[in-house]
Amino acid sequence: MRPLRYAINVTLDGRVGHEGVTPDADTHRHATDGIARADAIILGRVTYQLMENGFREVAETGVRPAWMEDWMVPFAHTIHAAKKYVVSRTLERVDWHHAELLPGDPIAAIRQLKNQPGNGLAIGGVALPTLVAEAGLIDEYEFVTHPVVTGRGPLLLEGLSTPLALTLAGKTEFKSGVVAMRYVPRR
């Protein structure tokens, strides 16, 4: 059975909307490594479209948009090359490299993906991971905590019906003050 890992950038006040979060070379390299070690990534529609709009062009054409820093390019190539499963009730098709819509019940589809052999799966986004955490399918959580309080944006895993008890499994500190903390569910 493949482990399912969830990683997300979060502010000190638990916001995951990326407002006030400033990416840097170290955190991008860390995210790139996380995607590279997974057999595939599972994304909801919103996150899939954000990633596709931000990183597809540079990976396919080599043309870097003016806003993109040089240190972002490896992330673009890594996410482009990754197998991507997309959960959506509104998309009829996906056409980014190695992207596939997950049909039907997302929880059943993700269980089936977890039951296949391999190194693991990554999941990203805001709403979809909450649904998947509620079903008890996430094996590892990584909260990349940025030292900022924004007071706005969606909250981390908002809407869980019961508290999620976690045990710290590892920590990486970056020179920017960002701390990536890995947790596993207490079982």
CATH code: domain of residue 29: 3.40.430.10
Query: Three-state DSSP class for 115?
Result: coil
- List the chain residues with pLDDT less than 50: none
Instruction: Give pLDDT, residue 68.
Output: 94
How far apart are alpha carbons 180 and 30 in whole angstroms? Answer: 9
Which pLDDT belongs to residue 50? 94
Residue-number span of the structural domain to which 145 is assigned: 4-185
As for how many domains the chain has, the answer is: 1
pLDDT at 23: 87
Q: Is 24 left (phi over 0), alpha (psi -120 to 50) or beta?
A: beta
pLDDT at 22: 86
Return the pLDDT at 103: 83
